[in-house]
Amino acid sequence: MTPHAPVGTAEINYASELATAIAATATANAANRTADLTEIAVNMLNNIERSLRALDPRNSGETGVQETNVA
């Protein structure tokens, strides 16, 4: 059986730098995706808030109670 060739410092450093670069890329991609999803969530919440405010009679000047004039 032939023994494996020894791994030198250069190979170990290269593998370490490559793993670090891959991890950094994955982290950056995850951060960008999180930022995108956060922006979408904030926009959705703002739209929901606007819709609820529009439905609230206190914001339209209406009381929600119909008044009748009695002569």
What are the extents of the domains in the chain? 10-56
Quick one: residue 7, left, alpha or beta (phi over 0 = left, psi -120 to 50 = alpha)? beta
Comparing 5-9, 10-14, 37-41, the range with the smallest average pLDDT is: 5-9
pLDDT band at 2 (very low <50, low <70, confident <90, very high): low
Global pTM reads 0.59
CA 18 to each of CA 11, 30, 34: distance values in angstroms, whole numbers, following the listed order: 10, 18, 24
User: Do residues 14 and 7 make contact, with C-beta atoms less than 8 angstroms apart?
Assistant: no
The pLDDT tens digits of the residues spanning 28-44 come to 999 999 999 999 999 99
From CA 65, how far away is CA 71, in angstroms rounded?
19
Residue 7's pLDDT is 81
SS3 assignment, position 7:
coil
